[in-house]
Structure 1
Amino acid sequence: MSNSLPQNAVNTLEQLQGKFPGYRRAHAKGEFYEATFIPNGNAIPYTTAPHLQQEPVAATVRFSNSPPDPSAADFLSPAKGMAIHFHQPDGSISHQVCTTVPMFVTKDPKTFIDMLKILGSHKTGIHSVDLGLGVAKLLTTFPEHKNTLLTLKEQLKQPPISYAALNYYPIHAFFLVNAEGKRQSIKYEWHPLKDEKSPSILDNIHLSKNYLHEDLEKRVEKGSVGFELYIRIGEDTDPTDDPTDKWPSDRQKILVGRLTINKKVLPTESLLFDPTIVGEGIDLSEDPILHFRHDAYAVSFDRRNKEDEKTP
């Protein structure tokens, strides 16, 4: 992959809503939590991954909004994020980087950058983007990505009630590798333990701009936040290189563990969540967007760390 593409992507994100030194170039606004993941052993036939066996695993979890602006109001962010850093029993690490949209907007990194530029052309202020107009323009320009764009538009219209009530998807296909070396394509899904419906947007007009973070902190204090991790088993006809393809809904779905959010922790913004860091027993797919994210995240990580070093 050309080194210019990751650099170009980060440059475009900085132009989208402005540059915010020391913060991530996307999903800038986030809160960190200490968590415990308890696997149930159902993944053992498919993988040797330490965190998917039967022993509890400590985890660091970050819930976030999608914009580059760390002050963005929670209800204006069309997609939310949950990133998990598994602290595996053998000392290694494994990451999952998830969003509330189950597929990516394109399978081509250059097209993704072009989409960001279109969004950036619909500014209403120095740090404000009219996402409604931007998504409408994207639908006209990229009709082949209609399903994903309409999902984004729907999430913008319907703000969620809580981070704790959302489904999260790592988007890409991965391969689990078992003790015999057999590879099985899968996709992950996280589902909340409590199924709550989001209120209408009218119910959210007077909410705090930080209502999702405030709500999550209160729920965690009550010990009521948890998610179940499922894997969907891919078949030979399911593409592993196209993050715009959700796979058919009838694919076998297996519950492999439960994540419990324990307590809020001090910001650890220096922590890099990289979707290509997966550890033993898991192989990356050939998905070009997955590998592009690794390079783009590295550019963002390097820039914000250098900015932090200059901060008095």
Structure 2
Amino acid sequence: MPFPTDEKIMETAKALVAQLQGIFGSHPGFRPAHAKGITAVGTFTPSEEAKKLSTAPHFNNPSTPVWVRFSNSTGIPNIPDFDENANPRGCGIRFQLGDRKHTDIVSHSTPFFPMRTGEGFLAFLQNLVAGTIGDFLAANPSALAFVQAPKPAPVSYGTEEYFSVNAFKLINSAGKATFIRYHIVPDAGVRVLSAEAVKKEDPDYLSKDLEKRLKEGSIGFRILAQEAAEGDVTDDATVHWPADRPVVTLGHIKLESLLENNAEKQKYFILDPIPRVQGVEPSDDPLLEMRAALYLWSGKQRRAA
């Protein structure tokens, strides 16, 4: 996973990491956002439709090992799972392609992002700290929509749905490109807790629930892809596509156990929002390079710690 060559992107990424650490505190060895998490392991099996849309190995091999990291928002490693600030939840999927090769999907439980660019998100955080967030939200409808979007706590990490807010291009064997956004849907159905019910939960109820469910059996998710139509915006993570756009099933994830040495290994692996694999290409969304730079910079800090 290379550093971006654009100095401005790296400068903004480092500023974002510093700003997040300024808000949530500096916690060596932990991510500056989505610090509290737990990783499960399993297998991804692609659909026949996936093979028609992309030449990517994980969409064409009979199956692919996966790591899936579930997480809470904020950079606070011990934030209680019942805290409203722990939403939206995160889901990072790593497809293990062998020989130290992989490709990832980064998603969270709100289907869009507050700002289109890294600079915009940095301004969002700066106004939050400065106490001028009200004026900022009034001037930025996308940020206001994100703040006001419902973010209920899930019954389980295995009953939450997750969205890749960025668009990607799937490239098939004929060279045809299809713009998509990923949607990860639980086999158990989407189930959330009321604001009152979640207050009665344990501070670590989500990780304890995940461990319990995996001891009793497997946990499943379908990976869906919403396809863009001609003219749909593909370079802005604040914009929804119309609900009537086609949705196809790309495959199924079956999680069967927790990753061994979970806490230690989470410090070392760095999720990459950019696919970097044949058959899947990034869109022109400016957040992609920014997020990749931020994750890489914070990952190097974790490893150094």
Fold equivalence (TM over 0.5)? yes
Q: Is contact 2:82-2:202 (8 Å) kept?
A: no
Shift of 1:200: 1.3
The yes-or-no answer on 1:22 pairing with 2:29 is: yes
Q: Is contact 2:158-2:219 (8 Å) kept?
A: yes
CA distance in 1, matches of 2:28, 2:135: 29
Question: Size of the alignment, in residue pairs?
Answer: 292
What's 1:208 paired with? 202
Unaligned 5+ segments in structure 2 are 1-5
Residue aligned with 1:195, SS: coil
Q: Is contact 2:222-2:251 (8 Å) kept?
A: yes
Letter in 2 for 1:222: E
Shift of 1:137: 6.4
CA distance in 2, matches of 1:294, 1:273: 8
TM-score (norm 2): 0.90
What's 1:12 paired with? 19
Letter in 2 for 1:20: H
What's 1:41 paired with? 48
Q: What are the Cα deviations for residues 14-66 of structure 1, in whole angstroms up to 9, with x where unaligned? A: 10110001111111111111111111221112110111125111011111111
CA distance in 1, matches of 2:107, 2:161: 9
Residue aligned with 1:60, SS: strand
CA distance in 2, matches of 1:31, 1:137: 36
Q: Is contact 1:50-1:90 (8 Å) kept?
A: no
Residue aligned with 1:74, SS: coil
The yes-or-no answer on 1:277 pairing with 2:275 is: yes
Q: What are the Cα deviations for residues 79-122 of structure 1, in whole angstroms up to 9, with x where unaligned? A: 10111110126863110011001111111211100111233346
What's 1:230 paired with? 224
> 2:96 pairs with 87, 97, 108, which one?
87
1:41-60 equivalences in 2 (<5 Å): 41-53=48-60, 55-60=62-67
The yes-or-no answer on 1:111 pairing with 2:89 is: no
Unaligned 5+ segments in structure 1 are 123-133, 308-312
Letter in 2 for 1:87: Q
Change (3 A) 1:295 1:59: same
Shift of 1:182: 1.6
Letter in 2 for 1:301: G
1:255-270 equivalences in 2 (<5 Å): 255-265=249-259, 266-267=261-262, 268-269=265-266, 270=268
Change (3 A) 1:116 1:53: same
Change (3 A) 1:90 1:52: farther
Q: Where do 4+ consecutive residues of structure 1 move more than 4 Å? A: 134-138
> 1:249 pairs with 243, 247, 255, which one?
243
CA distance in 1, matches of 2:65, 2:135: 43
What's 1:186 paired with? 180
Q: Percent identity?
A: 29
What's 1:73 paired with? 80
The yes-or-no answer on 1:199 pairing with 2:193 is: yes
Q: Is contact 2:97-2:103 (8 Å) kept?
A: yes
Does 84-93 or 229-238 show the bigger shift? 84-93
> 1:120 pairs with 116, 119, 129, which one?
129
The yes-or-no answer on 1:99 pairing with 2:108 is: yes
What's 2:3 paired with? none
Q: What are the Cα deviations for residues 161-218 of structure 1, in whole angstroms up to 9, with x where unaligned? A: 1111111111110001111212111111110101143231211222111111111111
Q: What are the Cα deviations for residues 126-175 of structure 1, in whole angstroms up to 9, with x where unaligned? A: xxxxxxxx976653353343322211xx21xx322111111111111000
Residue aligned with 2:53, SS: coil
Shift of 1:292: 0.6
Does 135-144 or 52-61 show the bigger shift? 135-144
CA distance in 2, matches of 1:219, 1:137: 44
TM-score (norm 1): 0.88
Residue aligned with 2:128, SS: helix
What's 2:286 paired with? 288
Q: Is contact 1:51-1:89 (8 Å) kept?
A: no
What's 1:139 paired with? 137
What's 1:218 paired with? 212
Tell me how large the CA RMSD over aligned residues is: 1.8
Q: Is contact 2:71-2:91 (8 Å) kept?
A: yes
CA distance in 2, matches of 1:72, 1:91: 32
Letter in 1 for 2:238: T
What's 2:303 paired with? 305
